[in-house]
Homo-oligomer: A and B are copies of this chain.
Amino acid sequence: MAEFSVMEGDVDIVIGALQSDLTSFMNEWRPIFSRFHLIITKDPHLKEELKIPEGFNVKIYQKSDMDKVVGSSLTSRLFSGYACRYFGYLISQKKYIISVDDDCMPAKDDKGFLIDVVSQHITNLATPATPLYFNTLYDPFRKGTDFVRGYPFSMRNGVPCALSCGLWLNLADYDAPTQALKAEQRNSQYVDAVLTIPRGVMMPFSGINIGINRELLGPTLFPGLKLAGEGKFRWETVEDIWCGMCAKVVCDHLGYGVKSGLPYVWRNERGDAIASLKKDWEGMKLMEEAVPFFQSLTLSPAAVTAEDCLAEISTLVKEGLGAVNPVFAQAADAMTQWMQLWKKIGCGPSSA
C-alpha cells in the first residue's frame, strides 16, 4: 500500500443539513471530523437555526449565502433537500471533498474498531484505481494484497482515482419498494474490501457517503435530475444516481477510476418507506431509460477535461433522452447552467 498522510489542508468535509439539530451527529463524528474544515450547507427550506456543538472548524452556508452566489431564483431550484450539499461542492477550494448524509453515524469495523471514513476515503482516492482489468483480490494497493497471476504488468500502474463510494451498515441504500417490502431487513454484512468499478461499467452511485477528488472531477457532481415530487428521503431522490452515471462516463473517458466498498457508515432510520410507496416512483422508472443510455454513451476525443465531457453529455442527453421525458431535458439544461456557475465561482486546476 502506498504510504501517505492525510493533509488537513487538502480536505473539506461537506455536510448537507436537512435537520436543524446536528448536536448528536457532530458529537458522534467529533473524533473523525474535528481535524478538518467542515462546510455545512443548510437546506434552504429549513427554517430553524442550526444547532452545532462547539469545537469544530466549520463554515455554515444558508439560503441567504446561496442567494448571493447563484441568485435567489436558482437557490431553491438547485439546492433543495439533499441537493443543498452541492453548494458546498461548488464553493470548496480543496483537493478532496468528503461528504456524509446527516442521518449517518460512524460505524465499527468487523473487529469493533471505529471506522475513520475520512482516512479510508482519502486512501481510496490517493492510491491508484485499476479499471482496466478486474483484480479478483480486490484493491491491489491495500496492505497485504497484490495483483493476481495473469494481471498484465502494463496495466498495474492503474489510473488516478477520482471518486470513492462508501457503503452503509444498518439501513442500506435501498429504494422505497425494497425498503417497504423488506421493512425488517438491515445490512449487517461488513465486507472488508475496496474495488475499482471496471471501465465501461455503470453502477448505482449513492451520495450518502462519498469521497471526491475535486481537482479531477471539477463540476461533475451537480444537482441535475430533479423529480417533480422529489422527497426528503434518499429513496425519493435520484439526483446522486444521475450524477454518478455522469461521473462514471467522465472518469472512463478521461482515464480516472471509481472505487466502491469501504468505508462503511452506520445509517439510521429516517422516513416512512410505505408512505413513499404512495408516490409515483418516478425516479425508479427514469432509471429504466437512463441506465441503458449511459451504458451506451461514448464521448469524442475532443473532450479532454471534465467540463468538455459534461458539455458533450448535456448535448447527448438532450438528443437521446430529451424526447423520452422532459425531466431529462431539464437535467441537460441543469448541466449547462451548473458549468456556467462553476466557471464563475469554482476554482482549482480542473476549471483552470
Q: Which residues of A contact B (CB under 8 A)?
A: 110, 133-138, 142, 144-155, 165, 167, 172-175, 178, 182, 185-193, 195, 197-206, 234-235, 238, 241, 244, 260, 284, 287-288, 291-292, 295
CA distance A23 to B248 in the complex (A): 51
Closest to A244 in B: B150
* B189–A145 touching, CB < 8 Å: yes
* B136–A148 touching, CB < 8 Å: no
- Which residues of chain B come closer than 8 Å to A188, judged between CB atoms? 144
Q: A150-B205, A153-B288, A193-B193 are in contact. List 12 more A-B contacts (CB 8 A).
A: A134-B201, A134-B202, A136-B204, A148-B172, A149-B206, A149-B235, A150-B175, A150-B244, A189-B192, A191-B192, A191-B193, A195-B195
Q: Which of B148, B234, B284 contacts A174 (CB 8 A)?
A: B148
- Which residues of chain B come closer than 8 Å to A185, judged between CB atoms? 144, 146
Q: Copies of this chain, how many?
A: 2
CA distance A284 to B156 in the complex (A): 13
Question: Are A204 and B151 also in contact (CB < 8 A) when A146-B182, A172-B137 are?
Answer: yes
- Which residues of chain B come closer than 8 Å to A175, judged between CB atoms? 149-150
* A150–B191 touching, CB < 8 Å: no
* B134–A203 touching, CB < 8 Å: yes
- Which residues of chain B come closer than 8 Å to A291, judged between CB atoms? 133, 152, 155
CA distance A152 to B245 in the complex (A): 13
* B149–A241 touching, CB < 8 Å: yes
Closest to A186 in B: B144
* A133–B192 touching, CB < 8 Å: no
* B134–A197 touching, CB < 8 Å: yes
CA distance A147 to B288 in the complex (A): 14
* A201–B204 touching, CB < 8 Å: no
- How close is A276's CB to chain B, nearest CB, in angstroms? 11
Q: List 10 A-B contacts (CB under 8 A).
A: A133-B202, A133-B204, A134-B197, A138-B191, A144-B186, A147-B178, A148-B172, A149-B234, A150-B241, A195-B195
- How close is A118's CB to chain B, nearest CB, in angstroms? 20
